[in-house]
């Protein structure tokens, strides 16, 4: 459940930007890492946990804006160049963080200790809080997409970019905001997940791979698709990981995703 909710937060940015402009950002995993490092720093400064998470989201969206202005904007009609350039950025960020903070894992303290008893099963309290926060964030996002003017713009651009532009929607602006928001959400997820393990510069890569699976399996550009994809991929990873080594579980998930694509090329949920 924890993995599913984290995946939802990470993948939603990827799915929306992919749906909006057909663009894949390979540096998306690094936003998770940035968020985790931001939380680590904020704990060094004795900030409360919630402030750390907000700081992480802020840092994430700021780096997202910089990436968008410096790199992504110039390449939005060249998907291959985009993949290469964002991969370059991801390598630079990863290695830069490693040079700045050193190689070893950074410990991050959890704000909630102890366990809660839920239906007779003991569950760590922090994980419950994480799931609640992630679900409410996503619900808020869903409301924004359905009810607000901006959400309407986003949905219009995803359905037909040229037509949306003809109707007077500033697609570039829509995309900029969505990109920054997606980056911020990924960083937020990174901060949330940081207390569950150690923070290292390479932690983003695994989230990146799983978010791809989520987007590909779930379908592009809809929150429902992200939820379905995250449920499928995250559930599968958690279920298999308890039975076998995690990397074998990951391999089986890849196989499942590949086979599923063959039979449901549009994803589980159509946009």
Please report, as ranges, the residues that interact with other proteins according to CB under 8 A.
Answer: 22, 24, 26, 71, 74-75, 77-81, 83-85, 87-92, 94-96, 98-99, 103, 205-206, 209, 212-213, 216, 245-248, 250-251, 254, 257-259, 261-263, 265
Q: Which among 57, 95, 99, 77 has a CA at the least distance from the CA of 187?
A: 57
Structure token pair of residue 156: 């219009």
Q: Toward other proteins, which CB reaches closer, 175 or 213?
A: 213
The nearer residue to other proteins, 87 or 123, going by C-beta atoms, is: 87
72 vs 185, beta carbon nearer other proteins = 72
Closest separation in Å from C-beta 89 to other proteins: 7
CA distances from 77 to 22, 81, 176 (A): 9, 9, 15
Q: How many residues does the chain have?
A: 271
- Residue 74: CB minimum distance to other proteins, A: 7
Q: How far is CA 7 from the centre of its chain?
A: 6
Shortest separation between residue 225's beta carbon and other proteins, angstroms:
14
Please say which residue, 149 or 262, places its beta carbon nearer to other proteins: 262
Backbone angles phi, psi at 122, to 5 degrees: -80, 130
To other proteins, the closest distance from the beta carbon of 175 in angstroms equals: 16
104-to-63, 94, 112, 201 alpha-carbon distances in Å: 24, 13, 24, 9
Q: How far is the CB of 57 from other proteins (least distance, A)?
A: 25
Residue 29 vs 190, nearer CB to other proteins: 29
- Shortest Cβ distance from residue 267 to other proteins (Å)? 11
- H or E element in which residue 123 lies: strand 121-124
**Which long-range contacts does 74-78 make (Cβ < 8 Å, 24+ apart)?**
76/21, 76/23, 76/175
Question: Given the complex with other proteins, which of 13 and 195 has the nearer CB atom?
Answer: 13
């Amino acid at each position: 459940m924890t993995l599913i909710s984290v995946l939802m937060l990470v993948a939603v940015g990827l799915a929306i930007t992919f749906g909006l402009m057909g663009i894949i950002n390979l540096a998306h995993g690094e936003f998770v890492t940035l968020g985790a490092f931001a939380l680590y720093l904020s704990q060094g400064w004795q900030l409360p946990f919630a402030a750390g998470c907000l700081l992480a989201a802020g840092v994430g969206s700021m780096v997202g804006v910089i990436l968008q202005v410096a790199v992504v904007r110039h390449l939005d009609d060249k998907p291959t160049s985009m993949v290469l350039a964002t991969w370059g950025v991801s390598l630079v960020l990863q290695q830069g963080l490693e040079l700045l903070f050193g190689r070893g894992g950074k410990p991050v303290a959890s704000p909630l200790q102890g366990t809660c008893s839920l239906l007779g099963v003991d569950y760590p309290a922090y994980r419950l809080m994480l799931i609640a926060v992630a679900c409410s964030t996503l619900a808020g996002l869903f409301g924004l997409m359905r009810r607000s003017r901006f959400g309407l713009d986003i949905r219009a651009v995803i359905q037909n970019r040229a037509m949306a532009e003809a109707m007077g929607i500033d697609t570039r602006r829509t995309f900029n905001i969505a990109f920054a928001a997606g980056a911020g959400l990924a960083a937020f997820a990174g901060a949330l997940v940081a207390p569950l393990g150690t923070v290292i510069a390479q932690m983003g890569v695994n989230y990146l791979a799983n978010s791809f699976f989520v987007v590909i399996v779930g379908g592009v550009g809809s929150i429902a698709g992200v939820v379905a994809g995250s449920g499928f991929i995250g559930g599968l990873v958690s279920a298999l990981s308890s039975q076998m080594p995690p990397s074998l579980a990951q391999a089986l998930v890849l196989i499942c995703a590949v086979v599923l694509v063959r039979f449901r090329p549009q994803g589980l949920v159509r946009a």
